Chains A and B, each alone.
Chain A
Amino acid sequence: MIKVEINARLHEEARVASAKFELKPAAGVAALRDQIAEQLRISVLWADEQEAMIGHIKAYVQWGTEAALMLSTTGSAVEVKGSDLPSDEPEIAEVGITGIVFGTELEALEDRLEGMAAAIAGQNGQWCVYAHECEHHHHDHEHGEDCTCGDHDHHHHHHEHDEACSCHEQEHHHEHEHDHHDHHDHDHHDHED
């Protein structure tokens, strides 16, 4: 099981989301790099379907403290930079993905990053749970289906983790761990053990 930290926020017209997780690369760092590159290419197609504009979507793979690969796309080709591939395959690699996209909903970008994490995890024989910190409302919010809350600082009180919620920041975003299937009505990838 992989725990994926997801953060999402708005910055003027930019939709900003990031995901970070650790995993054991089942077939090595080179294969992991290729899996991430494929997900970036899929993200370009996704943005085209959304009629959105990619500012950039970047990812890194890090092993140890000094070695890292970076992959990025601005809506066309995927570029790769960074360290040479390891001579000894690491037990654990850290993966981070960040996307800044214009012309789509923040939740859609968040879903895309979840999908990327799920696909990468699946290709390495693992599945994900998600921990979110976000600045958007959820469709099953207690404000109801008619909620048209468009406030960028909108926060949600209904969360099933209310008792554990330690909302203390001025922008009132909640940090929570949950099985993402429980209370989001947007499409998620099914996980297999």
Chain B
Amino acid sequence: MKVLLLSGFLGSGKTSALLQMAAYMVRRSGRKDTSVMIIENEIGEVGVDDKVLKAQGLAVRELFAGCACCTGGADLISDIRTIQETVDPEWIIIEATGVAYPLEIKNNVEACFRIPVKILSMADAGRWKRLHSYMPQLIEAQVDSADCILLNKVDLVDEETADHIAGELHAYNPQAELHKVIANKPIDDAVWAFLER
């Protein structure tokens, strides 16, 4: 069982990317029915994205009313344990809340399960400057521990701006792969290759 943590601020395109990434995982896997299990973490009581994911035929477990990086951490571990024991999928994708600190989640899961957790982080090109000036600590924390960063919504900015943001992201995390994407359009399978490494 492998674990991927999908991180990124609110509205950065996590769910849009997740749909494509999950489809890629299913195509690559020989286990059609149990290849991917999603844990959808919502900080509020009401989940929205889980409905869309389920409507697309994906297996989703809800983790609501708390953030998995802090108040919901114990529930996350419990959910992963249950999934491992009952479904044992090839992949668990944890879609974090948009206000989560991903490293906290990664450390928690790795400590409990001794499984390496990959982090995919979404950055919102359209709102990068505003979000970064408003809450720099959170925004930087969401990218500096990522294995792969998708700079999304590059269609909302000009090429120079996209390149500038990409440069900032690379400065925060020189080791991460970085791809510019538009997540509500098809993403090239090559982007997901980091999952195999």
- Verify if B190 is at the interface (C-beta below 8 Å from A): no
> Chain A, 90-107, contact with B by CB distance < 8 Å: what is the 0/1 string?
000000111010100000
A19 engages B55 (CB within 8 Å): no
B48 engages A102 (CB within 8 Å): no
Q: B46 CB to closest chain A CB, in angstroms? A: 4
- C-alpha gap A123/B144 in the complex (Å): 46
| Residue tally, chain A, CB below 8 Å to B | 35
Given known contacts A55-B10, A56-B10, is B43 in contact with A96 (CB within 8 Å)?
A: no
Q: Which of A10-18, A25-33, A157-165, A181-189 contacts B (4 or more CB under 8 A)?
A: A10-18
Given known contacts A59-B48, A72-B48, A96-B48, is B43 in contact with A11 (CB within 8 Å)?
A: yes
Given known contacts A11-B43, A55-B98, is B52 in contact with A74 (CB within 8 Å)?
A: no
Residues on B with C-beta less than 8 A from A72 are 11, 48
Which of A14, A19, A70, A81 lies in contact with B99, CB distance below 8 A? A14
- Verify if B159 is at the interface (C-beta below 8 Å from A): no
Given known contacts A58-B48, A59-B48, A100-B99, is B67 in contact with A74 (CB within 8 Å)?
A: no
In the complex, the chain B residue whose C-beta lies closest to that of A79 is: B184
Given known contacts A100-B10, A100-B99, A102-B134, is B46 in contact with A70 (CB within 8 Å)?
A: no
Q: Tell me if A's interface is mostly helix, strand, loop or mixed.
A: strand
B54 engages A82 (CB within 8 Å): no
Q: Which of A42-50, A60-68, A142-150 contacts B (4 or more CB under 8 A)?
A: A60-68
- Verify if B116 is at the interface (C-beta below 8 Å from A): no
Given known contacts A56-B98, A83-B55, A100-B43, is B48 in contact with A70 (CB within 8 Å)?
A: yes
Q: A52 CB to closest chain B CB, in angstroms? A: 11
Q: B70 CB to closest chain A CB, in angstroms? A: 8
Q: Give residues 1-25 of B contacting A (CB, 8 Å).
A: 9-11, 16
A17 engages B99 (CB within 8 Å): no
Given A7-B45, A12-B99, 20 other A-B contacts at CB below 8 A? A9-B44, A11-B43, A11-B67, A11-B99, A14-B99, A17-B44, A18-B44, A18-B45, A18-B46, A20-B45, A53-B134, A56-B10, A56-B11, A60-B48, A66-B54, A70-B49, A82-B52, A98-B46, A100-B43, A100-B99
Give 28 A-B contacts (CB < 8 Å), ordered by A residue: A9-B44, A18-B44, A18-B45, A20-B45, A20-B46, A53-B130, A55-B10, A55-B11, A55-B98, A56-B10, A58-B48, A60-B51, A62-B51, A68-B51, A68-B54, A70-B49, A70-B52, A72-B48, A81-B52, A82-B51, A82-B52, A82-B55, A83-B55, A96-B47, A98-B42, A98-B46, A100-B10, A100-B99
Q: Name B's A-contacting residues (CB within 8 A).
A: 9-11, 16, 42-49, 51-52, 54-55, 65, 67, 98-99, 124, 127, 130, 134-135
